[in-house]
């Protein structure tokens, strides 16, 4: 019974997702994102645009209307004149609507970038036949997410409706008298009222959007949670199978061994035990402050070092305590310690003398 309880708790998803799990989810397009943030921010900037450039926009619309009914009505109806009129109207419309579309596009991109950063994912564009399953669709229809979406829709309609009603009710006297105003004053009143309602509604929807983003982030973190067993399995997967790991380490050791054996011909002397240890010493009096161990080995590796030394006519000197000490205390690529300078120096001096290099050392 205790074992079953332990298995249950081990499988319970109580742990925060690992960085690797988050990367995998992001590759699949699974991120904490709220569409309400993009919609509310885009709507807010659109009404800000109308508040700043609304007069220019309205004047542009009137200019197109006036030019169409004053000048274009007098044109002869031909193919060339129709093409010219269509091109002119299209150009004027682009000049008029283009800035608004750029603002809306920039707002949408910025809102998405703030939430998820830069992300281009082709995974979300692939067809998922599972979404066409009626049973899955029925489950989604009566899921907690559907209930939350329904509550959000009700809240948006309630907030928007309340704001519109309040603004219109507060300006009811002005709206009633709109028939007595000139067309410019009437359009200015309608425009200012529309912008005021839009800014208030979009600002209120931004508050709802922030709350929705926090909820979406909570749901995202909850969905990514892992059990202790999941974390262990992921760790094993990342570390790799023990057999494969052993083979990888063996291959790395073999590569290091090959590199070491390639350096043996550079040695000045091989100090041996004589059978169990072999240490290759290299020293360049012009570029090095002290001799350096460039290769070392035990048993069959030591035998291989001595074979290579013999092939390249490198002198081998037997010194059992020195060979043991160098093998145990100095790593490959390290210079010999100060306390071994004299012992190694005597051997190098002997080797150089035998090879006729003692004059070079004296110089």
pLDDT tens per residue across span 148-167 = 778 888 888 888 888 888 88
**What is the maximal distance between C-alpha atoms in the chain?**
121
Q: What is the pLDDT of residue 244?
A: 65
Q: Determine whether 159 is exposed, middle or buried from the number of CB atoms within 10 Å of its CB (0-12, 13-18, 19+).
A: middle
Can you tell me the mean pLDDT for 214-220? 86
Side-chain half-sphere exposure of 264, counting CA atoms within 13 A: 30
Q: What is the pLDDT of residue 135?
A: 61
More confident residue, 141 or 286: 286
Can you tell me the mean pLDDT for 227-254? 72
Percent of the chain with pLDDT over 90: 1
The answer to whether the beta carbons of residues 317 and 347 sit under 8 Å apart is yes
Question: How far is residue 90's CA from residue 192's CA, in Å, rounded to a whole number?
Answer: 27
Ramachandran class of 146: left when φ > 0, alpha when ψ lies in -120 to 50, beta otherwise: alpha
Q: What is the pLDDT of residue 127?
A: 58
Q: What is the pLDDT of residue 239?
A: 63
Side-chain half-sphere exposure of 189, counting CA atoms within 13 A: 17
Residue 205 burial (CB count, 10 A): 23
Q: What tokens appear for 254 in the block?
A: 């073999």
Instruction: For residue 242, name the pLDDT band (cuts at 50, 70, 90).
Output: low
Q: What is the pLDDT of residue 2?
A: 42
Can you tell me the mean pLDDT for 48-64? 82
Q: What is the pLDDT of residue 121?
A: 62
Q: What is the pLDDT of residue 13?
A: 73
Q: Which of 110-124, 192-206, 230-244 has the highest mean pLDDT?
A: 192-206
Q: What is the pLDDT of residue 40?
A: 87
For 73-86, the pLDDT digits (tens) are: 767 777 887 788 78
- Return all residues near 120 (Cβ < 8 A) that are at least 6 apart: none
Q: Which of 22-26, 90-94, 136-140, 238-242 has the highest mean pLDDT?
A: 90-94
Question: How far is residue 35's CA from residue 148's CA, in Å, rounded to a whole number?
Answer: 13
Look at the block and give the residue holding tokens 């028939």: 179
Instruction: For residue 361, name the pLDDT band (cuts at 50, 70, 90).
Output: very low
Percent of the chain with pLDDT over 70: 84
Which residue(s) pair with 269 in the sheet? 281
More confident residue, 5 or 185: 185
The pLDDT of residue 128 is above 70 = no
Q: What is the pLDDT of residue 363?
A: 43
**Closest by alpha carbon to 291, among 324, 323, 320, 269?**
269
Q: Determine whether 71 is exposed, middle or buried from the number of CB atoms within 10 Å of its CB (0-12, 13-18, 19+).
A: exposed
The answer to whether the beta carbons of residues 190 and 20 sit under 8 Å apart is no
Question: What DSSP element (H or E) covers 139?
Answer: helix 134-141
For 255-278, the pLDDT digits (tens) are: 878 888 888 888 888 888 877 888
Question: How far is residue 168's CA from residue 163's CA, in Å, rounded to a whole number?
Answer: 9
Instruction: For residue 359, name the pLDDT band (cuts at 50, 70, 90).
Output: very low
More confident residue, 332 or 131: 332
Question: How far is residue 321's CA from residue 68's CA, in Å, rounded to a whole number?
Answer: 107
Instruction: For residue 357, name the pLDDT band (cuts at 50, 70, 90).
Output: low
Q: What tokens appear for 193 in the block?
A: 């009222």
The pLDDT of residue 7 is above 50 = no
**Closest by alpha carbon to 276, among 246, 252, 248, 296?**
296
If DSSP states are collapsed to H, E and C, what string results for 216-279?
HHHHHHHHHCECHHHHHHHHHHHHCCHHHHHHHHHHHHHHHHHHHHHHHHHCCEEEECCCCEEE
Instruction: For residue 203, name the pLDDT band (cuts at 50, 70, 90).
Output: confident
Q: What tokens appear for 140 in the block?
A: 């989604």
Can you tell me the mean pLDDT for 120-143? 59
The pLDDT of residue 292 is above 80 = yes
Can you tell me the mean pLDDT for 161-182? 83
């Amino acid at each position: 019974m205790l074992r079953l309880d332990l298995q249950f708790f081990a499988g319970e998803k109580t742990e925060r997702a690992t960085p690797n799990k988050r990367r995998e989810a992001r590759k699949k397009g699974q991120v904490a994102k709220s569409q309400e943030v993009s919609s509310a921010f885009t709507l807010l900037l659109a009404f800000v645009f109308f508040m700043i450039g609304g007069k220019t926009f309205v004047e542009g619309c009137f200019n197109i209307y006036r030019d169409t009914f004053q000048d274009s009505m007098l044109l002869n109806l031909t193919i060339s004149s129709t093409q010219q009129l269509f091109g002119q109207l299209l150009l004027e419309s682009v000049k008029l609507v283009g800035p608004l579309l750029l603002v809306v596009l920039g707002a949408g991109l910025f809102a998405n970038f703030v939430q998820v950063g830069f992300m281009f994912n082709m995974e979300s564009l692939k067809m998922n036949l599972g979404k066409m399953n009626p049973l899955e669709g029925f489950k989604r229809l009566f899921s907690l997410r559907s209930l939350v979406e329904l509550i959000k829709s009700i809240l948006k309609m309630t907030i928007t409706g309340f704001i519109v009603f309040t603004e219109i009710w507060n300006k009811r006297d002005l709206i009633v008298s709109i028939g007595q105003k000139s067309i410019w004053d009437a359009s200015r009143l309608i425009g200012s009222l529309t912008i005021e309602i839009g800014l208030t509604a979009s600002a209120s929807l931004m508050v709802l959007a922030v709350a929705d983003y926090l909820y979406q982030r909570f749901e995202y973190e909850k969905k990514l949670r892992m059990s202790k067993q999941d974390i262990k399995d992921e760790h094993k997967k990342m570390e790799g199978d023990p057999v494969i790991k052993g083979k990888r380490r063996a291959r790395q050791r073999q590569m290091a061994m090959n590199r070491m054996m390639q350096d043996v011909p550079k040695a000045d002397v091989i100090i041996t035990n004589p059978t169990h240890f072999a240490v290759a010493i290299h020293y360049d009096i012009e570029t090095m402050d002290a001799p350096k161990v460039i290769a070392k080995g035990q048993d069959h590796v030591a035998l291989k070092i001595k074979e290579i030394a013999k092939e390249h006519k490198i002198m081998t000197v037997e010194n059992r305590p020195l060979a043991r000490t160098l093998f145990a205390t100095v790593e490959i690529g390290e210079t010999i310690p100060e306390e071994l300078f004299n012992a190694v120096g005597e051997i190098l001096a002997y080797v150089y003398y035998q090879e006729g290099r003692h004059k070079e050392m004296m110089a």
